[in-house]
Amino acid sequence: MKFLDRPPRFLFFTGKGGVGKTSVACATAIHLAETGRKVLLVSTDPASNVGQVFGVNIGNTITAIANVPGLSALEIDPQAAAQAYRDRIVGPVRGLLPESVVKSMEEQLSGACTTEIAAFDEFTALLTDSALTAGYDHIVFDTAPTGHTMRLLQLPGAWSGFLDAGKGDASCLGPLAGLEKQREQYKAAVDALADSRRTRLILVARAQQAPLREVARTHAELAAIGLSQQHLLINGILPQSEAENDPLAAAIHERELAALQNMPDVLQRLPCDRLMLKPFNMVGPTALRQLFEDTPTTTEIAVDSPLEPDEPKLSDLVDEIAQDQHGLILLMGKGGVGKTTLAAAIAVELARRGLPVHLTTSDPAAHLSETLNGTLDNLAVSRIDPQQETERYRQYVLETKGAKLDEQGRALLEEDLRSPCTEEIAVFQAFSAIIREADSQFVVMDTAPTGHTLLLLDATGAYHREVGRQMDAKDLHYTTPLMRLQDQHRTKVLIVTLAETTPVLEAANLQADLKRAGMAVWAWIINASVAASKAKSPLLRQRAANELPEIEAVATQHTQRHAVVPLLQQEPIGVERLLTLVGH
């Protein structure tokens, strides 16, 4: 493995849910520990299953892994970190400042940005406090900080007083209010991340077009802020031997070869490792030790044993959706789970039934036109372009708020408007205009990856509360976008996931976040299921058997309404293949 060649002290693994970054991070930690090093494995993933992998309760304290000498682990709980972070900032001023000011501070600290920065705050000490980690040769992080968080931490300190004076339209800068004391520590942490002698970033992906596009964007975002020393690790490649007697396996193999041959140029220039797909789950040190080895396929599943689950189909959900004749359909979930494809499939099927449909996306990585590859009566397609909307919003703020500022104030306002969440507020404005159309037709929306979507919903919630403060509900009737999203007669939220441990955990966390925002999830869709696809390859059949407990967990623990979509031999591109996903 190239990424294990002369490893520095800090190794960060980042990637979308379901690509296997936790497995790779755990296997790396075991490998380093078994070469005689002292290793600390740290997870900052809100859906962390490191403890589950090792069969140990870890939590937010350093815990020794008994059956791997030299290895300890720590799970940072981002939600707990965010609450402690809020208490630390707001607590000292309770009773000293007016209640309205305290509530305003809590509002600023209620969003997803706070959670990201709080988690960064937790592991900053691991990067900068040599006494805290003096006993460890290597610290392995499962989930690196995002480019979004890093960009926030690089904003200048001068904006704090600028925002307090009411001169700026803060996007997501509230979480950093009052943190000048930690700024030097943050700078030291960012410097450590950018130093290739101390830190190596490993981008984990699958041999599929969408995850590779996602990881290319992550590479660009991190490189733009100085984190340029990166490795690429492509996980879970189907061995060619599995393709010999199984049309599905053969089709997957061909697709993976094509994805690897057509990787974005920026990825082809990175040092790269490839790991073969294994038939077993990555749970326990014995399994993890085999991840970096090309072990032959072994399976306990007989070729003729029944595996295909008798689960509801996507057509069952569409039948129920169609009865309403109109409404907003939001598909949500982590990147790489197939939201764009399923949004297109649902929209195409509703249009085929003669119902008017507007299919749209706020995902900067979405390629709806490529997925549809054609037109259909009753179907309109659009895309909210984040760059265009952000530039339109920036110009509006500069022409209105900025016109009243002096040169220094305008410079700070421009810096504020370069913060990552400015894009979310801009996209929200376009989003608000589109969802009103759902009163007279179907609007099917493929949303951006979860973190972005939650920030967008934070903006929606802030707008909703501001309208409520300014209007007397007893005298005036008003409907805000959040009220539309919370109304189950107008809006159906569909969470998309894969039948794998981490994506299901992440989907459950998303559902909890939406519940806190007053939004109920209508249904779950388990996409690209091997168990539902009648695979013949021994390795794929073992993978199918591993999916069954996850499918059962979704059906019995997480939702009252779900559907399972099979992994298809042909990629669902074009109207006819999209209809196949819905059973036509």
* Cα 182–Cα 185–Cα 189 angle in degrees, nearest 5: 135
Q: What's at 151, amino acid-wise?
A: R
Distance CA 221, CA 137 (A): 29
Given 15, 17, 18, 336, which residue is catalytic? 18
Question: What is the rounded CA–CA span in Å between residue 507 and residue 523?
Answer: 11
Neighbouring residues of 336: CB distance < 8 A, sequence distance ≥ 6: 16, 17, 18, 19, 206, 208, 210, 211, 214
CA end-to-end distance (rounded Å), the chain: 45
Instruction: Retrieve residue 284's tokens.
Output: 């326990």
To the query of whether residue 21 is one of the catalytic residues in this protein, the response is yes
The single residue of 14, 16, 17, 23 carrying the catalytic annotation is: 23
User: Annotated catalytic residue: which of 110, 171, 450, 502?
Assistant: 502
Active site residue 375: no
User: Which of 265, 223, 221, 511 shows the shortest CA–CA distance to 364?
Assistant: 221
Q: What is the identity of the amino acid at 185?
A: Q
What gap in Å lies between CA 39 and CA 140, rounded to an integer?
A: 7
- Exposure string over 318-347, b if 16+ CB within 10 A, otherwise e: beebbeeebbbbbbbbbbbbbbbbbbbbbb
Nearest to 50 by CA among 71, 26, 29: 26
Q: How far apart are CA 417 and CA 397, in angstroms?
A: 9
**CA 31 – CA 27 distance, rounded (Å):** 6
20 in active site: yes
| Cα of 28 vs its chain's centroid, Å | 23
Say whether 55 is catalytic: no
Residue count of the chain, please give it.
Answer: 584
Among 507, 39, 190, CA closest to 54 = 39
Residues 90, 102: Cα–Cα separation, whole Å: 7
Concerning whether 339 is annotated as a catalytic residue, the answer is: no
Pull the structure tokens for residue 300. 């306990």
Of 17, 45, 338, 371, which residue is the catalytic one?
A: 45
**Cα(557)–Cα(561) distance, integer angstroms:** 11
The yes-or-no answer on residue 18 being catalytic is: yes
Residue with tokens 């937790």: 122
The tokens describing 583, both together, are: 């059973």
Q: Is 22 part of the annotated catalytic residue set?
A: yes
Q: How far apart are CA 10 and CA 8, in angstroms?
A: 6
**Active-site hit among 21, 167, 278, 492:** 21
Catalytic residue of the set 14, 16, 22, 497: 22
Q: Which one of 14, 16, 17, 20 is the catalytic residue? A: 20
- Residue type present at position 343: A
List active site positions.
Answer: 18, 20-23, 45, 502
